[in-house]
Amino acid sequence: MKQVATAVQEKIKDTGRVIYSQRIQTSDQHPYSNYIDAVTTILNSVGILIVILGSFLVINTMNAIVSEHTRQIGVMKFIGAQSRDIVRMYTVLVLLFGLVAFLLAVPASSFSAYFLSNRIATQLNGEMTTTRFPIVPYVIIIQAIIAFMVPVLACIMPIKRGASTSVQQALHSNLIEVKTETSRLDKLLDGVKEINGLLLLAMRNTFRRKGRLALTLITLSLGGSIFIGVFNVKAMLDEHIHALANYCAADIFVTFNRSYPLDEIIPLSEQIDGITYAEGWKTLTAILETDDESEQVSIEAPPDDSELLGALVQTGRWVTNDEDHTIVVNENFYQNFPNLKPGDSIILKVAGKDEVFKVVGIYNYTGLSDKRAYINYATATQLTGNWSKTNSYRLVTKDHSLKSILNMEDAVNGTFRERGYDVNTVSSLQVIINDSGEKINLVISVLLILAILTGLVGSIGLSGTLSLNVLERTSEIGILRAVGAYDKAISQLVVYEGLFTGLVSYVIGALLSFPVSILLGNMVNQAIFKSAAILTINPAGFLIWFALVILMSIIASLLPARNATRLTIREVLAYE
Sign of the torsion angle spanned by Cα atoms 298, 304, 308, 310: positive
Q: How many CB atoms lie within 10 A of CB 163?
A: 21
Task: Give me the pLDDT at residue 178, please.
Answer: 45
pTM exceeding the 0.75 threshold for the entire prediction: no
* Cβ–Cβ < 8 Å for 362, 315: yes
Kindly report the backbone phi and psi dihedral angles of residue 85, in degrees, each rounded to the nearest multiple of 5, phi listed first. -65, -40
Q: How many angstroms separate the first and last alpha carbons of the chain?
A: 79
Question: Is the model's pLDDT at 370 over the cut of 50?
Answer: yes
The pLDDT tens digits of the residues spanning 272-289 come to: 999 999 999 998 889 888
The pLDDT tens digits of the residues spanning 476-525 come to: 666 666 666 666 777 777 788 888 888 888 999 899 999 988 888 887 77
Ranking 172-176, 290-294, 422-426 by mean pLDDT, the lowest is 172-176
Mean pLDDT, the chain, integer = 78
Question: Is the model's pLDDT at 182 over the cut of 80?
Answer: no
Instruction: Give residue limits of the domains in the chain.
Output: 31-172, 195-245+430-576
pLDDT confidence tier of residue 392, bands split at 50, 70 and 90: very high
**Averaged pLDDT for residues 67-87:** 81
Closest CA to 312 of 259, 275, 365: 365
